[in-house]
Amino acid sequence: MITNCKMKWDEELHSFIFHTYENSTASIDFLGDMIGTLEHLKSFIIKEERRQYEDRSIKDFGKLPTAYKVEGTLINTWIDGKIYKEETK
């Protein structure tokens, strides 16, 4: 589990405490799931930025909500209660 996640924007330094529960298999599994969910969130934000850029009527380009509620499993990610679907090329 990750706790006390912080970001110093002026230094671009992030920090957090990673709780291993003294189990390497569970730690690796957790990190894999978390990385996948974070990649989905990153892609979601990039898509939102592109959508805003293409919609010239949006005055606050690049503005996002204060927070997103994100949940995930090995396979799926939900962002604000909606399942995230990657576009296939």
> What does the pLDDT profile of the chain (89 residues) look like in tens digits?
999 999 999 999 999 999 998 999 999 999 999 999 999 999 999 998 888 888 877 677 788 889 999 999 888 999 999 999 876 54
Nearest to 72 by CA among 84, 54, 89: 84
> Would residue 50 count as lying in a domain?
yes
The answer as to whether 52 is a domain residue is: yes
Count H helices and E strands in the chain, helices first.
1, 5
Phi/psi-derived region of residue 12, left when phi > 0, alpha when psi is between -120 and 50, beta in every other case: left
16 within domain boundaries: yes
Assess if residue 89 is contained within a domain: no
Q: Which domain covers residue 11, as residue numbers?
A: 2-83
pTM over the 0.95 mark = no
Q: Give domain status of residue 88, yes or no.
A: no
Assigned domain for 66 exists: yes
Q: 73: closest CA among 36, 39, 18?
A: 36
Q: How many domains does the chain have?
A: 1
Alpha carbon of 55 to those of 11, 41, 52, 82: distances in Å? 33, 21, 5, 22
Report whether 44 contacts 38 (CB < 8 A).
no
